[in-house]
Structure 1
Amino acid sequence: MCFPDQHYDENLKKCINGPCPCYPEEYTYEDPCSCDMFYECKNGVKVLSMCEQGYHYNVTMRRCASPCSDICPKLFLRKPECCASTRGKPAPVCPATKYRVYLPHPSDSKWFYHCENSVLYCNRCPPGYRWNIDTDTCDDSCMCP
């Protein structure tokens, strides 16, 4: 087992620093947490990419395509691995309201939460964007940590 930010190199038979290499070039992989994002191999590294608005990544075709349904089932799986670590800080608590409420992630501005019917959901901003607490949107000009 390797430390975080390392991967096991079969040729060297040891853990080395850096993300796991990605082959073949331009190959795409499903994002387990989002329907409209995917990973593609660029220069041997998996890079998070986003489909055009209104499209979802199609695992069978290995590209973005028009979705078969308007609902993304991944949004409701509540998988813990689909949210960045809070680094020991407490996750926010949803207020008791039927209205949608947005809350910042306590340690990583690439992520944010939204509450619906008092249920907390973790979401990720598109690549290159950060959660702007002033506007409650993902923003590409936000100088957030």
Structure 2
Amino acid sequence: MKGFAVFSSTVSLFLILFGVSQTLAIFNNICRLFPEGTKLGDPRSCESYITCINSTEVFTKCSKNQTFSVESKKCVSSKTGCVDPCAPDVDEYWLADTRSCSGYYYCKNGVGTIGNCSPGQHFDESLQECIYSEKSKCKGDNYCEIVPNNINFKDENDCEKYRVCSKRKLKSKKCPKGQWFDRDTGNCAKKSSVKSCNSLPTKVCVKGLRVEKNKFVPDKATCRGYYYCADVGKSADENPEWHQCKEGQFFNYKSQSCTDPLNVKCDEDRCDGRGNLFVNSAKSCQHYLVCQNGLSVAERKCADEMFFDEKRQGCTSEVIEYDICS
């Protein structure tokens, strides 16, 4: 590696060994992406694995002569587990880590010691040195080297999306409309029930071609949540403050206030903050939602020529024409 050439071999080895204590950049607390109890390979060693407990990495070393198998998610004979990437005859050579664009191995006597480039840099094996990421040909870090197949995990760039390894290839998938990916369960769920995503909607302070200034706008995730868009000049506020109406009220953009839910059209879960009530559905004035602990668990319909009246908590023959369902 040219970057190390000016140092003595002793100093070079010290720098490489120092890198051992640093987890690869993409794997810093990788458990933030996975459900409780998930087992993953250790990106630093074939002989140990990670168990996700309370969203934190817990490292466990396999028994002697065993390595961790990502496929079977357990320690197996070292003959069938992962192997050291450095061939027996590879000596004093830096080898790219296929799991990470920034990672590399220093091969000495056929044994690899893992290291990592500085933030913003990728390792280039042909040059034997770290280079700026924009000059790199590496397409992306390969989670699937340590993540078992068919385990859904969080995409930190988009709450509606998640990732999964299929046949050791990383794939991106999207939740159904109106749902977010819930890291805690590994499945898609209604936005209001997902606690593991706090994504800020894109262009939240832009409405059409107009920049929202000194205004409250819906958070696009719940019926109660809203943001305050400050006046920051010509551009839109990129860090608006989030607020929430008290239970039993929804945010009303037109009135710029928290009001009776029957006065607010909202496409999100209308059971949000409503406890165990029956509430009018936006589908029609004959439909209503069954709420349990502030979440919608079912949608039902009144008999023909009957309408649901949220205020009376029941179906009635009186024609109901609330704005939210008419």
RCO higher in structure (CA 8 A, sep ≥6)? 1
Same fold (TM > 0.5): no
| Structure with greater proportional helix content | 2
TM-score of the superposition, structure 1-length normalised?
0.42
